[in-house]
Chain A
Amino acid sequence: MPEIVLDGVEKRYGRTQVLPPLDLTLEDGEFTVLVGPSGCGKSTTLRLLAGLETLSGGEITFDGRPISKLEPKARDVAMVFQDYALYPHMNVAKNMSFALRLSRVPKDEIDRRVAAAAEMLGIDHLLDRKPAALSGGQRQRVAMGRALVRDAGVFLFDEPLSNLDAKLRARMRTELAEMRNSIDKNMIYVTHDQVEAMTLGDRIVVMNAGRIQQQGTPEDLFERPVNKFVAGFIGAPTMNFLPARAEGDRLVGEGFDLPHPPGLPVPQGAVEIGIRPSAITVDHGAPLELRVVVAEYLGAQSVLVTRCGPHEVLAEVESATRAKPGETVRFAVDPAEIMIFDPETGTRLVPDGEG
Chain B
Amino acid sequence: MLANVNRATPYLFLAPAVLVMAVALLYPIGYMIWASFLDWNPSQRIGEAEFVGLRNYIYLLGDAAFRESFWVTIRFAAIVVTVEMVLGVGLALLLDRKLRGMTVLRTIFILPMMIAPIVVGLMWRYMYHPTVGTLNRMLESVGLPSAPWLSDGTWAFASIVIADIWQWTPFIFILALAALQSLPQSAMEAARIDGASGWQLIWHVKLPLMLPVLIVTALLRLIDAFKVLEVILVLTNGGPGLSTEIVALRIARTAQEFQDLGTAAAMSNLLLILLLVLTILMFGYTRLTERRAARLAAAREAEIT
Contact = CB atoms under 8 A, between A and B. Distances in A.
Given A87-B191, A132-B293, A134-B300, A102 B196 contact: yes
Given A88-B209, A130-B296, A135-B303, A71 B186 contact: no
B303 A85 contact: no
Interface centre among B194, B195, B296, B303 (most CB of A within 10 A): B194
A78 B195 CA distance: 10
A87 B187 contact: yes
Contacts of B192: 51-52, 71-73
B242 to A, nearest CB: 45
B184 interface: yes
B296 A78 contact: no
Interface stretch (B73-81, B117-125, B200-208): B200-208
B293 A73 contact: no
Contacts of A133: 296-297, 299-300, 303
A73 B193 contact: yes
Nearest to B188: A85
Interface in A63-102: 71-73, 77-79, 81-89, 98-99, 102
A133 B304 CA distance: 10
A345 interface: no
A72 B188 CA distance: 12
Contacts, number: 80
A81 B205 CA distance: 17
A129 B296 CA distance: 9
A89 B303 CA distance: 20
Contacts of B184: 83, 85, 88
Nearest to A73: B195
Nearest to B205: A87
A163 B304 CA distance: 16
Secondary structure dominating the interface of A: loop
A190 interface: no
A162 B297 CA distance: 23
Interface string A307-335: 00000000000000000000000000000
Contacts of A146: 190, 194
A87 B191 CA distance: 8
A249 to B, nearest CB: 57
A297 to B, nearest CB: 30
A103 interface: yes
A129 B189 CA distance: 22
A89 B300 contact: no
Contacts of B296: 130, 132-133
Contacts of B195: 72-73, 99, 102-103
Given A132-B293, A132-B296, A135-B304, A83 B193 contact: no
Nearest to B194: A99
Chain A interface category by residue count: 20 to 34
B268 to A, nearest CB: 40
Interface string A38-82: 000000000000111000000000000000000111000111011
A122 to B, nearest CB: 13
Contacts of A102: 194-196, 200, 204
Interface string A111-144: 0000000000000000001101111001000000
Contacts of A99: 193-195
Contacts of A86: 187, 190
A86 B205 CA distance: 11
Contacts of B297: 132-133
A139 B124 CA distance: 54
Contacts of B204: 98, 102
Contacts of B190: 79, 81, 85-87, 146
Contacts of B211: 89
A171 to B, nearest CB: 15
Nearest to A97: B194
Contacts of B186: 81-85
B207 to A, nearest CB: 10
A98 B209 contact: no
Contacts of A78: 193
A226 to B, nearest CB: 34
Interface string A146-164: 1000100000000000000
Contact of A79 (B193, B205, B208, B209): B193
A98 B191 contact: yes
Contact of B193 (A77, A87, A129, A138): A77
Contact of A89 (B200, B209, B293): B209
Nearest to B185: A85
Given A89-B208, A135-B303, A135-B304, A98 B194 contact: yes
Contacts of A138: 303
Contact of B189 (A85, A134, A135): A85
A83 B184 CA distance: 10
B99 to A, nearest CB: 15
Nearest to A103: B195
B191 A88 contact: no
27 contacts: A51-B192, A52-B192, A72-B195, A73-B193, A73-B194, A73-B196, A73-B197, A77-B193, A81-B186, A82-B186, A83-B186, A84-B186, A85-B187, A88-B184, A88-B187, A88-B209, A89-B211, A98-B196, A99-B194, A102-B194, A102-B196, A132-B296, A132-B300, A133-B303, A134-B300, A135-B300, A146-B190
Interface of A: 50-52, 71-73, 77-79, 81-89, 98-99, 102-103, 129-130, 132-135, 138, 146, 150
The 7 closest A-B pairs by CB, nearest first: A85-B186, A73-B195, A99-B194, A85-B190, A133-B296, A89-B208, A132-B296
Given A51-B193, A133-B296, 18 more contacts: A52-B189, A73-B192, A73-B193, A81-B186, A81-B189, A85-B190, A86-B187, A88-B184, A89-B208, A102-B200, A129-B299, A132-B293, A132-B296, A132-B297, A135-B303, A138-B303, A146-B190, A150-B194
